[in-house]
Amino acid sequence: MKTINYWKISPWDWGKDPQGWEKQWNACLKEKMIAIGWDKVGDLQELSLEQIKNRLFENYEEYRRRNYKTRLTLDAKQIFYFKEIKDGAIVVANKGQKEIAGVGQVDGNYYYNRRADVHKHTLPVKWLDTERRKIRRQMHWLPTVIPLTKQKMREFGILKIIKEVRIQKYEAGIKKGATFSQRVMKTREFQQAFRNAILENYQRRCAVCDVDDDAFLRGCHIVPVKNDPKIAGDPKNGICLCVIHDVAFEKGIFSITDEYEVRVSDSFKTTSRVLASAISKLNGKKIRLPSQYYPNKLYLKKHRVIHGL
């Protein structure tokens, strides 16, 4: 299944049971999770789509009705999609078709919560924003689990919310610990916070090419942490690059001028046609600038000095 970064998930059937929805939503916030029903299917971790479909048929009488064949397939897909949602994906919790209740980020993998009375299929979630927002009625929001496009996320204002929350948290962390040791800079928590802030600043796209898949993007330090730990947390010391260009920049294969143009080292040589095309053609190209926190020109100069460029 293609990686999908945005999902709409309903905590409960609000149309049939408004009070039950409020109760389950409060549980989602308190326990930092989102969960769905169809508990009789059991733990989904090792189940294929076809196996989920068979279990629905075996355990729920309504799916054995002649006119429920299409519904059986659709619901099996919803359940399968839920357990396949990846760590880091964004979840939009809805209340009916005209209200967004919360926005969160998946913080781990699917698990089957045997201690829960109902809705045992569970994803851990960090809720980033729980302000309720009215939206134009979404006629297709009747299913429990559906993918959302980036365009829809932008339409609802959710991309902006996510960006603001992440940058606020990152800046708060910087202010809280203005001086970091090299050991702290190497921690997974700091690296992830720095990466998130840099990717958001560059609209989640490589600054020198068109790669826009999070799995292939890095929050790269212009001046390496080991060279100057004091500026490691400065967002102006970061640039969003894809995996290939991150390695090339880190090794000094190319640098960036004060005019924000790529300068490829004269000494760059490779037998790979792919790498030659991906790097050599960048020479003289303007980088894609971020929405804020432009790369500090002193840091760019220091990177050039470090690599003798």
> What is the model's pLDDT at position 165?
67
CB 283 within 8 A of CB 264: yes
The label of the residue with tokens 């919790």 reads 93
Question: Which token pair is 238?
Answer: 């970061």
- The pair phi, psi for residue 232, each rounded to 5°, is -60, -30
Residues in the chain predicted with pLDDT less than 50, given as ranges, are: 1, 174-185
* Per-residue model confidence (pLDDT) at position 234: 86
Q: What is the largest CA-CA distance in the chain?
A: 73
Angle at 281 between CA 296 and CA 302, to 5 degrees: 25
178 Cβ neighbours under 8 A, 6+ residues apart: none
**Using one digit for the tens of pLDDT, what is the confidence trace for 27-78?**
999 999 999 999 999 999 999 999 999 999 999 999 998 888 899 999 999 9
Tens digits of residue pLDDT in 133-145 = 999 999 999 999 9
CATH 3.20.20.10 describes domain 6-156: no
Tally of CB atoms within 10 A around 241: 25
Side chain identity at residue 35, one-letter code: A
Domain limits, CATH 3.10.590.10, in the chain: 6-156
Question: Which amino acid makes up residue 92?
Answer: V
Q: How far apart are CA 59 and CA 129, in angstroms?
A: 37
* Prediction pTM value: 0.57
Q: DSSP labels for the chain?
A: -----EEEE-SS-TTT-HHHHHHHHHHHHHHTEEEE--GGG---TT--HHHHHHHHHHH-GGGGSGGGHHHHHHHHHHHHHHHHPPTT-EEEEESTTSEEEEEEEE-S--EE-TT-SS--EEEEEEEEE---EE-S--TT--SSEEE--HHHHHHTTHHHHHHHHHHHHHHHHHHHTSS--HHHHTSHHHHHHHHHHHHHHTTTS-SSS----GGGEEEEESS-TTT-GGGTT-GGGEEEEEHHHHHHHHTTSEEE-TTSBEEE-TT---S-HHHHHHHHTTTTPBPPPPSSSPPPHHHHHHHHHHTT-
Per the CB < 8 A criterion, the answer to whether 130 and 119 are in contact is no
